Structures are given as structure tokens and as C-alpha cells.
Structure 1
Amino acid sequence: MKEIKVPELAESITEGTIAEWLVKKGDQVEKGDPILELETDKVNVEVNADASGVISELLKDEGDDVEVGDVIAKVDENGEAGSSSEEDSQDKEEEQQEQPKQEEKQQKEPAAEKQEKAADHENKGEVIATPAARKKARELGIDLSEISARDPLGRIRPEDVDAAASGSKQETKQEAPKQEKKEKKQQQTSEKTEFTKPVEREKMSRRRQTIAKRLVEAQQTSAMLTTFNEVDMTNVMKLRSERKESFLKKHDIKLGFMSFFTKAAVGALKEFPLINAEIQGNEVVKKKFYDIGMAVSTDEGLVVPVVRDADRLDFAGIEKEIAQLATKARNKELQLDELQGGSFTITNGGIFGSMLSTPILNSPQVGILGLHNIEKRAKVMPDDTIQARPMMYIALSYDHRIVDGKEAVQFLRRIKEMIEDPYDLLLEG
């Protein structure tokens, strides 16, 4: 019989929730076949069979939380498909047939014989131990019958009691985290509010729980502030209009706003490197690479896949990478390495109509750029005329522990300047 355990998933992932079993008891599987889908903090992954054979037992149900190393199923390497169910039926039939015979035998057994068996059982269970061992066992609250003696004659000595006590402490230590989890769940259940009017309860997905946890952690562990500015999008929109057909024909991808803001962000990060850094203990780690996270909304919550080496990509390369990652995110096809290691994040609430917001940091990053909806507003021009211009509010949330307000404001203003003069940005890109 081969046990199937939850495998090592990634360095930062130690547990998950069983989203769906892809097999059932009695199914034939080959080594490497996917047997279940596991929902983790970041992505859904498939767990494969470690051996070929028949699924003899499923030890966990859909919706159960499991940790790396937990046994979740068993495979009978010598079994045949469907045999498990038949064996179960045969076992039940034999058990039903045997039960009346056993009851009849018990009824016929004389009382004296029962007493004799009980006495024999007591004699066999008698523990031989030294007085010192008995005293130590009483003090430590250990049952002598559960201690294995190393003495050839079977006599329990004080050192045997000490060894048993050490093993008991180790077991208690291992069980402590599980007990804490159980108590936490019980506490959460007891804290549920009872309503007098109809409600519907729905368990949060593991991903939503992780999002909630990390957003709270970001606010609790960083000195987060947000600064704002507004950008005149006239020139970017004009440039897109001029180039969109030739760009699409040449690169087979549309020219969007995100590539402009990504290039502008990379340029500003090079000028203000602390916004592309993170804090590790008492050190500030300034990153010399530009892996830009792109927040993508999915049915199961927000994910942030990473565009690697954005400074080395042209506009078409950025647009293709963003489109590919967004599609994979919505189809639940993202890999763990596509979600890790970003140095800065851009989130675009404008696609949902947001006019202004304060984005929350994607820890351990110390900066996130928020984009918003484009709307025409009255703007006073340099010649004092008033024109209706397409304007966008932009926001930068930053960790004030290492980024000062001056740098944050200058960073956002530099992005504004590059977006409002996109021709140079496009040429330099």
C-alpha cells in the first residue's frame, strides 16, 4: 500500500485546501496522473499520484485544509480497478454473517469462564517495575503499562520512565500547532454573530483569506502614505490614435496605456531607487532590476503576476507580456514563479471606473502606483484659456520608513512629465 502525501509546493507555501478530487475510490491511476486540485495562497496546483495502482482510500474531503506532508490518499499497487468497492461489500457481508454467531457464542459462555479469562488478562497485564520507577511515574503522571522496559527481564526502571516522559513531551510539542489551529477555529465559530433576519454564510476561499491577511499585514507593518497627482492624457491618446493601426499590424497586439505607464515607472524608479527597494531587518535592499507586478482581477480575487525585466522590453513586449499574464490569471494557469519576486506594482482601478483611490502596498515592496479613470475636466492652459482635457488622477502609496514625502512627490511628478510628453518616452523605450 502506497501513501500519497501533499508534496513540497514552494518555499513560501506550506498548506492548501482541497478544491476538487479528480479521482474516486477504486479508480485505476498511473504514476504521475493528477488526482486532485489543491488551492493554495497563490495558485491552484494539481497533486499527482506517486505510484501506479488503485485508489484504495481517500483520507481527506473536498474543502479540507491540508499541510505539506499530510497523507491524503492511499494507492494499492497490486489492486485492480473496482476491486476496492467489491472487497468492501464482501467484508460487510462476512461481518454481518459473523455477528450473530459471535453473539450466540457470548450468550453460551459460562460466567465462571468469563471470570477466569478476566483474571488471566489482569495477570498478563501486570507491570513489573522498581519502586523508584513507580514513584517517578506517579510524579510525572505516566501510565506504567505504556512504558517499554529495556531490562531483559522486563522490569521497568527510572530511566525507562524518563525516556517515556521525553517522548511524551516531544509528542505534545508536535501536537501543539494543530491544537492551536483547532482552538482558533473554535474561537472563530463562537464569535459568529447570530442574526434575526435571513443571511447566507459562505466560507472564504484560501486565496481570499490570504489576500485579506496580507493587506492587513501591509498596513500593520509599514508606515504607508499616499500622494496624488493628475495627468493630462491628451498627447498619449493622440499618439495611440496615430500609431494603433501600424502597431497592431506590426506586432499583432494593441498599443495600450499600460505599456506607457510601465515605461514611465521604470524611468522614474531609476531616478528614485529607494522606491524600488525593500527593508530586510536593519538593511535597505536596493534592487537593480525592474520586475513590475501588474494587478489583475479574477473571479477568485486579485493576483499580481510579474513582468520580468520590464526595462529591457519594448512597448510591444510589455503589451504582449501583460496580455499573456492576464489571460493565464483568469484561466487559473499562472505558475508560482510568475507571481513571485516583483520589485514594484502597478494597479489600474480605472478599468472599473474608479476616479480616486489609495492602493495598498504589495509587501515587501515599498511602492505601488495606482491608475484611475480618464475623464474630461476643465483645465487652465499656459495661455490662460480653459479647455476640456482628458485627465487621470494617479496615486503613489509608499512606505514612509525609507521613502520620504519629497521623493514620493517627485517620483509621481516625473511619471506625469513622461506621460504628458510620450513621444520622447516612445523613442527612448
Structure 2
Amino acid sequence: MIEIKVPELAESLTEGTIAQWLKKEGDYIEKGEAIVELETDKVNVEVNSEYSGVISGFLFQPGDNVEVGQAIATLDENGTVTGDTNEVATASKQEEKVEQQQKPTTATEEKQETNAVTVQEKENQRKPIASPAARKRARELGIDLNDVPYQDTLGRVRVDGVEAYKKSLSSKENQPEVRKQQPQQKADEKDDMVERIKMSRRRQTIAKRLVEAQHNAAMLTTFNEVDMTAIMDVRNRRKDSFYKKHGVKLGFMSFFTKAVIGALKEFPLLNAEIQGDEILLKKFYDIGIAVSAEEGLVVPVVRGADRLSFAGIEKEIGVLSEKAKTNTLGLRDLQGGTFTITNGGIFGSLYSTPILNAPQVGILGMHTIQRRPVVIDKEDTIAVRPMMYIALSYDHRIVDGKDAVQFLAKIKALLEDPEDLLLEG
């Protein structure tokens, strides 16, 4: 019997959650064929079998957490698939011999066996379905799993359910006697109107990283606004010829990516990270572009963006966005990154404060373009222009406020003068 184990995923990933089994018990699987989909902190990955054979059993169910190197299924290399039900028939002569030598049981033995089976069935009916980690935690807390009401959508008790039940017991013990005697009718009625949904591993990771970013960095945000007239004029004049030549649309993101790179070259501390008591200055420009996916925001990386043309940037963003939508991003697509750009404007956001994508020390927030009256300095007149608010969140531990403000002003200047952007970007 061969064990299928969780392979090495990435340097920073040590565990995952079983999203779904891609085969059934009793199915025959070829070497190199995918057997399970794992949800990790970053992406979903498929685990391929290193052997051919019949799947004799799954050791974990969807929703269970598994660690790298842990056995998750067993495979029988000598097994065969028989019938429409895909039952496994082994060719072991040892088992055939045992079956031939087996003697019929007496009536008493049969009765005893039947009674034992009945008792076992009753025990199984009383035994709740729970993950191994939940059973372990329940034993540590002295909790009967039958008493735990918190279950996931598949009816399984999980660790967070055990913890929640323990917390509810503690809170009840600490409540005054008068409150214990109060009727629970209203609370029960509201419970029927509440849906409990377990957070996906990726959503938990997003939440954890966002909180860590605010706790571990001295994050500040500075704002400015950009007159998008010049860029919109260039796009309107060149979009048709650009698409005809390159097969991709000329969007705003390539302009902003080039502007960010131009500003990073002038203010290199925003293209750095902190490692202990050292500052790691990065002299390459791998720009993360935040993309909204079904399970939350992901930040795939456009590598060597400084060496790409406008068309190259647009094509790379298009490929990464499509991967995000189809849930096919690889770990390498998300690793690294020296600076991040996020565009809340596609959802209509007018003004917001982006949160750092640790360990990066800078993130630029784009917003919706809104036509509003502004004063034209050189002409001393008021005109209606397409304006966009931009925001820079930065780590004040290594980036001074003066540099942050000037960095954002540099981006504004490059965007408002596309010719200068082409020369410096």
C-alpha cells in the first residue's frame, strides 16, 4: 500500500486545506494525474499522484487542514477496478487463502456478532463527525463533541467550533444569576435568521496579513489629485492604432506603472523593505497589481516592469487578471513584489486609504475619475476636468513624510505630462 503525501508547496507554505478530491475511492489513477485540490494561503494547487494504482482510501475530508509531508490518501498498486461501483478487488493470494480457511460461525457467535454490530452502529450514530484537530482540542478542554452545536456547512465539528463552545460555557459561568434565568426566546429567534459561514483559508490569510501590516508598520497615508486630461487625450488618439499593432487595449494601468517606476528611481526607499535592523534596497522593479478574485483580493506581480513597454505591461496584466478570474494563478505569480498598485476606482471608490502589502513599504491607491471644476493655475481660470484622487500609504519607519509627499507629487507630474512619462519611465 502506497501513501499519497502533501508535497513541498513553497518556501513559506507549510500547510493547506483540502478543497476537493478530484477522484473517488476505488478510482484508478495514472502517475502524474491530479488527485486533490489544496487551498493554500495564496492560491489553490493540484497535487498529482506519483504512482499509478487504485485509490483505496482518503485519510482526510474536504475542509480538513493538512501539513506538508502528511499522508492524505492510500493507493493500491495491485488493485483493480471492478463493476460499475468501482470496488477494489486485490489480487493477494494471502487474502484468498484466509477466506478459504475461514470457518462458519455458530448460531451463538452469529448472535453475539449481530449484537456487537448493533451496539457499534449505535455508537457510530452518537459519534459526531469532527476533524482530528477538533477531537484533540475537545479532549484537552474536557468537552464532549456531542454537546458542540457549532458545525460547518458539511455538518462537521471543527476546532473553531470547539473553541466557540468553550467560550460560550465560560461566558455563561461568568454571567450573573439573574441573567441566567432570563428567557432565551428572543435569542433563539434571531439564531434562525443568522447564517454561519466559515472563512476560507485565503480569506483568513488576507485578514491576518492586513492586521499584521497595521500592527507591525508605522503606516501613514498622503493624498494628491491628478488631472487626467492629457492621458485621456493620448488614449483616445492612440487606442485604435495601439490595439491594432499590439492586440491589447491601452489602459490606465500601464501609465500608472511607468509613473510609479519613474518615482521609485528618484525615491528608492519606497522600493525597499525592512529586515531586522537593516534596510534592503531593491534595484529591480517587480510591481504588484491588486486584482479582485472570487475569494478576495490577490496581488500578482508584473516582473521587470521597468524593462517592459506599455504594451508589454498591458499584456502581462491581462494574463494575470485572467488567471485570477479562473483561479489558475501559480505561487510564483504572487511571490515577491517590490511595490503595489491598487485601483479601487473600478468599483467606484472616490477616496480611500490603501493598506500596505507587507513586507513592502509603499502602496499606491488609484480611484475613480470624476469630472469636477478645478482652477487652471497658468490660466487662472476654472474649468471642468477629469480628476482622480491618488493615495500613497507608506511605512514611516524608513520613509519620511517629505519623501512620501514628493514621491506622490512626482507621480502626479509624470501622469499630467505623458511625454515626460515616456522619457523618464
Which residue does 2:412 correspond to in 1? 416
Distance 1:100 1:231 in 2: 90
Q: Computing the radius of gyration over CA atoms, which structure comes out larger, 1 or 2?
A: 1
Aligned twin of 1:248: 243
Query: Which residue number in structure 2 is paired with residue 85 of structure 1?
Result: 87
CA distance in 2: counterparts of 1:328 and 1:186, whole angstroms:
37
Give me the whole-angstrom Cα distance separating, in 2, the residues matched to 1:262 and 1:210: 27
Q: Structure 2: which 5+ residue stretches go unaligned?
A: 91-95, 114-135, 142-157, 172-186
Q: Per-residue CA shift, 1:142-175, capped at 9, x if unaligned?
A: xxxxxxxxxxxxxxxxxxxxxxxxxxxxxxxxx9
283 and 101 in structure 1: CA distance in 2 versus 1, 3 angstrom threshold: same
The SS at the match of 2:285 is: coil
Residue of structure 2 in register with 1:307 after alignment: 302
Match of 1:156 in 2: none
* RMSD across aligned positions (CA): 2.8
Go from structure 1 to structure 2 and tell me whether the alpha carbon gap of 1:105 and 1:73 turns closer, same or farther (over 3 Å shift). Answer: closer
Partner of 1:233: 228
- Relative distance call for 1:278 and 1:428 in structure 2 (3 A) is closer
CA, structure 1 residues 217+81, in 2 after alignment: closer, same or farther (shift >3 Å)? same
Decide whether the 8 Å contact of 1:27 with 1:82 is kept in 2: no
2-side partners of 1:104 and 1:205: how far apart?
Answer: 48
Aligned to 1:58: 58
Deviation digits for residues 352-386 of structure 1 (CA, Å, limit 9, x no counterpart) = 00000000000000000000000011101122211
2:103 & 2:350 partners in 1: Cα distance?
Answer: 71
59-68 or 338-347, which moves further after superposition? 59-68
TM-score, normalised on structure 1?
Answer: 0.78
Q: What's the counterpart of residue 207 of structure 1?
A: 202
> Are 1:12 and 2:12 counterparts?
yes
Q: Are 2:325 and 1:330 equivalent residues in the alignment?
A: yes
Query: Bigger CA drift: 408-417 or 27-36?
Result: 27-36
What is the aligned-residue identity percentage? 64
Q: Which amino acid aligns with 1:357?
A: S
Indicate conservation of the 8 Å contact 1:226/1:358, yes or no: yes
Structure 1 pair 359–191 and aligned structure 2 pair: CA distance change class (3 A): farther
Aligned to 1:111: none
Matched, 1:364 2:371: no
User: 1:6 touches 1:69 (CA, 8 Å); kept in 2?
Assistant: yes
Q: Which amino acid aligns with 1:209?
A: Q
Q: TM-score, normalised by structure 2?
A: 0.79
Counterparts of 2:331 and 2:218, CA distance in 1: 28
1:261-300 residue CA offsets vs partner (Å, 9 max, x unmatched): 0000000000000000000000000000000000000111
Change (3 A) 1:196 1:259: same
Q: Which amino acid aligns with 2:9?
A: L
1:26 lines up with 2:26 in the alignment? yes
Compared CA separation, residues 189 and 366, structure 1 to 2 (3 A): farther
CA deviations 1:22-72 (Å, max 9, x no partner) are 111111111111111111111111111121111111111111111111111
Instruction: Single out whichever of 303-312 and 381-390 deviates more from structure 2.
Output: 381-390
Give the counterpart letter for 2:211 in structure 1.
Answer: V
Shift of 1:187: 2.1
User: 1:96 Cα shift?
Assistant: 13
Are the aligned partners of 1:361 and 1:397 in contact in 2 as well (CA < 8 Å)? yes
The 3-state SS of whatever aligns with 1:373 is: coil
Amino acid at match of 2:289: M
Deviation string, structure 1 residues 287-336 (Cα, Å, up to 9, x no partner): 00000000000111110000001110110000101111000111111110
Please give the per-residue CA displacement for 1:6-31, whole angstroms capped at 9, x wherever unaligned. 11111111111111111111111111
Structure 1 pair 250/95, CA: closer, same or farther in 2 (3 Å)? Answer: farther
CA–CA distance in structure 2, aligned partners of residues 312 and 217 of structure 1: 33
- Partner residue in 2 for 1:118: none
Residue 46 of structure 1 aligns with which residue?
A: 46
Note closer, same or farther for the CA distance 1:21–1:266 as it changes in structure 2 (3 Å cut).
same
Question: Are 1:102 and 2:109 counterparts?
Answer: yes
| CA shift digits 1:186-207 (9 cap, x unpaired) | 3245447976411111111111
User: Per the alignment, do residues 32 and 428 of structure 1 end up closer, same or farther by CA in structure 2, a change over 3 Å counting?
Assistant: same
- Cα distance in 2 for partners of 1:99, 1:324 equals 70
User: Which amino acid is 1:72 matched to?
Assistant: I
Secondary structure, aligned partner of 2:311: helix
Contact 1:16 1:38 in 2 (8 A): yes
8 Å CA contact retained: 2:56, 2:76: yes
Q: What residue is the counterpart of 1:112 in the other structure?
A: none
1:395 aligned residue: 391
3-state SS of the aligned residue for 2:17? strand
**Paired position in structure 1 for 2:3:** 3
